[in-house]
Structure 1
Amino acid sequence: MKDERLLAFYENVRHQVALDAGSRYRFAGEGVRAYADKLREEMDRRRLRFTPINWPEDGR
């Protein structure tokens, strides 16, 4: 996967988590978090620069 595509996938998850923070509904659950963690691990391995996801305190 190209670096740009990897960063775009992660950015989309980060954006969804930010939208969820302003809503009473949560769409980014544990499965999404696991997916984001895998993306982050690969981005770290490639030494890409990215903005980390600020996950809510309750883990959702």
Structure 2
Amino acid sequence: MTSSFDHLSDSSLLRLYEGIRQQVEADRALGGRYRLVGKATEQRAKGLQAELALRGVKFTPIIWP
């Protein structure tokens, strides 16, 4: 089975994942008043995380609120 991330380089995957992680941190900084990310973004991040782990790329895990 091919992943939807097969065409992306390791650095591109990491950039996408880091962008989501920064959005989650921004949500936390706003104190929950606004939401920048939702369930769809969380699922996307989990897919990226799985692909990064499969490729052996080191990343900082997202701590979801």
Query: TM-score normalised to the size of structure 2?
Result: 0.84
Corresponding position of 1:10: 17
Counterpart Cα distance in 2 of 1:15 and 1:33: 13
Shift of 1:7: 0.2
Corresponding position of 1:43: 52
What whole-Å deviation, never above 9, does each CA across 1:6-50 have from its counterpart, x for those lacking one? Answer: 000000000000000011101111000000000001001001100
User: Match for 1:52: what amino acid?
Assistant: P
SS in 1 for 2:53: helix
The alignment of Structure 1 onto Structure 2 pairs a total of residues equal to 56
Identity %: 41
Higher relative contact order, structure no. (Cα contacts within 8 Å, ≥ 6 residues apart): 1
Corresponding position of 2:29: 22
**Structure 1: 4+ residue segments shifted above 6 A:** none
Shift of 1:53: 0.4
**Aligned residues: CA RMSD:** 0.5
Larger radius of gyration: 2
